Amino acid sequence: MPIRPSLAIIAGILVTGASAYLLAEPMAPDFIARLEEQSATAIAEAGGTGVTARFASASGKPSRHPLLSGGEGLDEATRAKVARAVYNVPGVGGVVWSDGTVRAESDEPTFQPLHCQEDVEGLLRTRSIRFEEASSAILPASRVLLDEVADALRPCLGSIIAITGHTDQSGTEPGNLALSMERARAVREALVRRGIPRDGLRASGVGSSQPVEGLAPTDPANRRIEFSVIRTEPLRPTPVDTPGAR
């Protein structure tokens, strides 16, 4: 019995995806182990007695955005020095402390909040937050991606994070506007549940008015969520979030 071309294509995609997963998965523990080892060395050299770096998301999945804990007896200058040392380890993303998320000011403009937007765009370059058809209900398959988006945004807490919903040109524009707004709000609520403060999130929908450059307005790939991280004040922050007064 001949195999239908569509089934052959789908089977090929599944085999390719499974192979990529099996090849990449064993690499993640080694990558995280290297970050942990080098971060421990950086912490010790910075005088961070009692400080540990945990490279895992809230759901327990490996993450390059470490959470620092311990070192309660250290002064704020030393804590900032420790966090900067961890941030400077190659491969490390944004650094946060477990007991606070207020940005510290610094004369070293080595970090800009917009790096979070670049991290999120990187996550969404090959994947997208998916919804049920003609609905704002987020598909369960997108939960892991939303975990990763929340982790990528967390180092920029204190900035305004704009969430913009887009649709393709199918359907009426009033309906498209309403659906794009509902989906942006659904993503906002999903991020709030993952620990991103609601007061920094702005949801909006633009319907089909802003298609992806190079795509036809009716192309389904225009159905998307975009993020913009906007600095709210002219500070020159460090690459870390450090706790306020305790």
DSSP sequence for 66-107: EEEE--TTS-HHHHHHHHHHHHTSTT---EEETTB-EEEE-S
Q: What is the pTM of this model?
A: 0.51
Provide the pLDDT for residue 109.
36
**Does 245 map to a domain?**
no
Cβ 138 vs Cβ 187: under 8 Å = yes
Provide the pLDDT for residue 183.
95
What's the rounded Cα separation, in Å, for the pair 203 and 227?
A: 10
**Does 12 map to a domain?**
no
Pair (60, 148) in one structural domain: no
Provide the pLDDT for residue 233.
45
CATH classification at residue 177: 3.30.1330.60
Pair (171, 84) in one structural domain: no
**Does 22 map to a domain?**
no
**Does 246 map to a domain?**
no
**Does 19 map to a domain?**
no
Task: From residue 79, give the alpha-carbon distance in Å to each of 46, 69, 193, 235.
Answer: 9, 10, 28, 20
Instruction: Identify the domain containing residue 148 by its residue range.
Output: 115-230
Which of 108, 138, 157 is at the close of a domain? Answer: 108
Q: Is 213 helix (H, G, I), strand (E, B) or coil?
A: coil
Provide the pLDDT for residue 15.
44
**Does 3 map to a domain?**
no
Provide the pLDDT for residue 107.
35
The number of folded domains in the chain is 2
**Does 16 map to a domain?**
no
**Does 73 map to a domain?**
yes
Pair (88, 164) in one structural domain: no
Provide the pLDDT for residue 210.
93
pLDDT tens across the length of the chain (246 residues):
454 545 445 545 444 444 444 333 333 568 788 889 999 999 999 998 999 988 876 567 777 778 888 887 888 788 888 888 888 888 776 677 765 433 333 333 334 445 788 889 899 988 999 998 889 999 999 999 999 999 999 988 888 899 999 999 988 999 999 999 999 999 999 999 999 999 899 999 999 999 999 999 999 888 899 998 876 543 343 444 444 433
Which of 61, 79, 108 is at the close of a domain? Answer: 108
Pair (122, 60) in one structural domain: no
Pair (182, 98) in one structural domain: no
Pair (101, 147) in one structural domain: no
Pair (119, 102) in one structural domain: no
